[in-house]
Amino acid sequence: MVADTAPSSLTVAPSRSSASLCIRAWLARRSEAVAIPVGAAALGFLLFGLFLAALGKSPVQLVDIVWRGGFGSPFALGNSLQRAAPLLFAALCVALPARLGLVVIGGEGAIVLGGLAAAAAAQPLAALPALLAVPLMACAAALVGAVWIGSVGWLQAYRGVNATISSLLLSYIAIALANHLIEGPLRDPTSLNKPSTLPVGDAFMLGPMPVIGVHWGLGCGVIACLIAYGLMDRTTLGFAARIAGGNVRAAQIQGLPVGRLIVGFTALGGAFAALAGFFEVVAVQGTANGTLAAGYGYTGILVAFLARQNPIAIVPVAFLLGGIEASSGLIQRRMQLPDATVLVLEGLLFLIVLMSETLYGRFKLFNPHLWAEKRAPAPPSPVLA
Amino acid sequence: MSDGLGLWTVPLAVVGGAIRVSTPFLFVSLGETITERSGRINLGLEGTLVFGAMAAYATAVMTGSPWAGVAVAGLAGGLFGLLHGFVCKFPRVNDVAIGIALMLFGSGLAFFLGKPFIQPSAPPLPAIGFGAWSDLPQVQAALRVNVLFLIGAALSVALWWGLRNTRAGLVLRVVGDSADAARAMGYDVDHVRLLATGLGGVLAGIGGAYLSLYYPGSWNEGVSSGQGLMAVALVIFARWNPLACFGAALLFGGAGALGPALQSVGVSQGYYLFYAAPYVLTLALLVATSSPDRALAGAPGELSLSK
């Protein structure tokens, strides 16, 4: 169990100054948010190791391969970071609406349409200098994504349609629409085996970032996470969203514009997801084609839940999962395992981390309001569930 | 003779398709109805459906009996359902999120274990021809009805009757409408929900068996195109009524058959758009039947979806 991190004897001596107690209480609360997900993820890896062992494969070899394929060399690291970039954006598409209590799982559709919009916008903008045209392409992508996922929020707020279901349906519709456009009106006639749109052109392609050598989507993704963190935790808008997510009635009585908050946060999430598609087109593929629907939207859901919808935590989690997915090919070749191996691991991690939600507030180590319990009856808990 | 049918091919193919395509919708939506009537939502039935398809196909390949495949698919689906039901009883565990995780986990595990079974072919489930009165091969093809479809139809009537008239149906409805009332009556709410989710999983697994053993009739990673999830939306549209689920499943099956039917008469423009028809239909029905002001008529009171 995860509880093994808790020391057995933890008492608060009465002589301690209240300042040090405050610091320790603050540290305890903070470390709970790290220790429980990390412990849960460790348990998930352990169970997956047992699963592999039961199939006669070596879990130790898997760890070794994931390390070498995802993190061990500059090349592997670059590969992982390149995969992490779309995951950052896709996870924000889950985390931002989650602040309002919405479970949006249709980021894949926004990614595909965003990439398509960027590629389509490149043609009329071809005469402009790249410095002007590329941001405009990003805007086109973001706009399409914002409308697409924003309509999920609008349907929830004003029509009462469940966002989880409508977002996934819209994602299927988006992929069908993109397939139609890529194989029909927007198809490059010279793309025979792999239907694609016209290439955006070398002038509009983004190069790698200095020093890191990974495309700009990574840097922009990290910045997007920081912006989302600032918005959610440092502005009144984010505070209002959190109130609305906790209790809609209370928020309405306070006079908060719940409907507009929902539409705004879902639209912003959709815009971010669409930027993942934009970067895939202008930094990796060069055209919009079927590989846009590579499953980043679905892995992004996992990233957001593993990060417990915290935009800062999304950065390391996206890096970890990017690395695991980057080593997928090596796992197949070296261990003769199917390509779905990573899916099984991801599903298992997802399940265990969701289950670990029930552990918050249970461990004495992390919950200062439980410390004094032996001496006096506990004061009413100030921590809201 | 067959050329004389002309455009009549389309409605005929849609009717035949409705019967052929609707069975997975029917089983998953009946399963989800049982689960949701107990007050929980299991979005993971998509994963259960895919895993059921794999389990049924693999079993049928190994034993040579499609019915053994159906049984194993139901059993595997039941295990997934029980897992969902067990995990969701803990405080602060979100049933919607667990469902999404199970969707990933079920499909992943099915792809993982089902890799060796993509090549071999399995014996299909039997079908009964109700079209012998007609000379037209199209009519005969359209009216070839699979046994599972008939079982599903009977099951929806039985469930509709059982929910109203049996003790088990009453307990299920009480638990779903008010957990407090059920506790006051001495029922173990978590236990009832565990069983209801397990039973829902069994039905979804059987729906998966139909996919791989009859139509489309093969096992590969694209065997389900979101039917499991659409069935969840279908339950809302059907107002948690098993009989209405039957009608809605036929409607969805018809929408799914529209694309291939139009393609067969030479309409090739917008091929992918017709494939989106079931999703558009689902969304349109959801929008039309939902309301922000009031809970949905007929919705179980404990369901997080309608709160």
The answer to whether the peptide bond before residue B216 is cis (omega within 30 degrees of 0) is yes
Mean pLDDT (chain B) is 89
Q: How many H helices and E strands in chain B? A: 13, 2
CB B99 within 8 A of CB B44: yes
Could you please report the per-residue DSSP string of B75-143?
A: HHHHHHHHHHHHHTTSTT--HHHHHHHHHHHHHHHHHHHHGGGSSS--PPPPEEE--TT---HHHHHHT
Residue A8: the pLDDT is 45
Residue A235: the pLDDT is 94
Residue A247: the pLDDT is 85
B134 in contact with A, Cβ within 8 Å: no
What are A302-334's pLDDT values in tens digits?
A: 999 999 999 999 999 999 999 999 999 899 999
How far apart are the C-alpha atoms of A312 and A289, rounded to whole Å? Answer: 31
Q: Which whole number is the average pLDDT over A104-113? A: 95
Residue A384: the pLDDT is 46
How far apart are the C-alpha atoms of A297 and A106, rounded to whole Å? Answer: 7
Supply angle C-alpha A11, A13, A14, rounded to 5.
135
Residue B265: the pLDDT is 75
Report whether pLDDT(A97) > 70. Answer: yes
Q: Which residue has the higher pLDDT, B259 or B276?
A: B276
Confidence bin at A2 (pLDDT 50/70/90): very low
Instruction: Note whether A340 contacts B115, CB cutoff 8 Å.
Output: yes
Instruction: Note whether A176 contacts B283, CB cutoff 8 Å.
Output: no
Work out the percent of chain B whose per-residue pLDDT is above 70.
95
CB pairs < 8 Å spanning A and B: 136
Q: Which whole number is the average pLDDT over B56-72? A: 95
Q: Which residue has the higher pLDDT, B14 or A265?
A: A265
Q: Which whole number is the average pLDDT over A128-157? A: 96
Residue B8: the pLDDT is 77
CB B201 within 8 A of CB B87: no
Give the N- to C-terminal CA distance of chain A in Å, as an integer: 23
Q: Which whole number is the average pLDDT over A20-32? A: 85
From chain B, the residues in CB contact with A341 under 8 A are 112
b/e code B248-263 from CB counts within 10 Å (16+ = b): bbbbbbbbbbbbebbe
Q: Which residue has the higher pLDDT, A349 or A384?
A: A349
Mean pLDDT: which of A21-35, A135-149, A178-192, B213-227 is highest? A135-149
Contacts of A291 (CB under 8 A, 6+ apart): A280, A285
Instruction: Note whether B271 contacts A180, CB cutoff 8 Å.
Output: yes
Report whether pLDDT(B307) > 70. Answer: no
Residue A15: the pLDDT is 53
Q: Which whole number is the average pLDDT over B72-87? A: 97
The B residues from 206 to 265 touching A (CB cutoff 8 Å) are 221, 225-226, 229-230, 232-233, 236
Residue A197, strand partner residues: A187
Confidence bin at B215 (pLDDT 50/70/90): confident
Residue B305: the pLDDT is 64
Report whether pLDDT(A264) > 90. Answer: yes
Instruction: Note whether B270 contacts A180, CB cutoff 8 Å.
Output: yes
Report whether pLDDT(A4) > 50. Answer: no
A339 in contact with B, Cβ within 8 Å: yes
Confidence bin at B306 (pLDDT 50/70/90): low
Residue B294: the pLDDT is 63
Residue A278: the pLDDT is 97
Residue A191: the pLDDT is 83
Nearest Cα neighbor of A165 from B38, B190, B237 is: B237
Residue A373: the pLDDT is 59
Q: Which whole number is the average pLDDT over A79-108? A: 95
Q: Which whole number is the average pLDDT over B198-221? A: 94
Supply angle C-alpha B131, B133, B134, rounded to 5.
75
Report phi then psi at A280, rounded to 5.
-60, -35
Q: List the single range of A277-281, A367-371, B292-296, B299-303 with lowest mean pLDDT.
A: B292-296
CB B152 within 8 A of CB B30: yes
Q: List the single range of A297-306, B29-38, B59-68, B142-151 with lowest mean pLDDT.
A: B142-151
Contacts of A347 (CB under 8 A, 6+ apart): B101, B102, B104, B105, B106, B107, B108, B109
Report phi then psi at A304, rounded to 5.
-65, -40
Confidence bin at A363 (pLDDT 50/70/90): confident
The Cα-based distances of B129 to B85, B94, B138, B147 in angstroms read 39, 46, 12, 10
B86 in contact with A, Cβ within 8 Å: no
Confidence bin at A379 (pLDDT 50/70/90): low
Instruction: Note whether B270 contacts A358, CB cutoff 8 Å.
Output: no
Nearest Cα neighbor of A168 from A152, A145, A182, A157 is: A152
Q: Which whole number is the average pLDDT over B203-214? A: 95
Could you please report the per-residue DSSP string of B166-180?
A: SHHHHHHHHHHH-HH
Residue A23: the pLDDT is 87
Confidence bin at B38 (pLDDT 50/70/90): very high
CB A244 within 8 A of CB A251: yes
Mean pLDDT (chain A) is 89
A332 in contact with B, Cβ within 8 Å: no
Report whether pLDDT(A80) > 70. Answer: yes
Q: Which whole number is the average pLDDT over A19-47? A: 88
Residue B144, strand partner residues: B129
Confidence bin at B5 (pLDDT 50/70/90): low
What are A201-215's pLDDT values in tens digits?
A: 888 998 888 878 889
Q: Which residue has the higher pLDDT, A382 or B219?
A: B219
Name the DSSP letter for residue A198: P
Q: List the single range of A150-154, A299-303, B236-240, B264-268 with lowest mean pLDDT.
A: B264-268
Residue B290: the pLDDT is 83
Q: What are the CB-based long-range contacts (under 8 Å, 24+) for A25-29? A: A25/A368, A25/A371, A28/A365, A28/A366, A28/A367, A28/A368, A29/A366, A29/A367, A29/A368
How far apart are the C-alpha atoms of A211 and B293, rounded to whole Å? Answer: 55
Q: List the single range of A220-234, A368-382, B218-232 with lowest mean pLDDT.
A: A368-382
What is the residue whose two structure tokens read 């970067």? A279
Taking the CA of residue A114 and the nearest CA in chain B, the distance in Å comes to 18
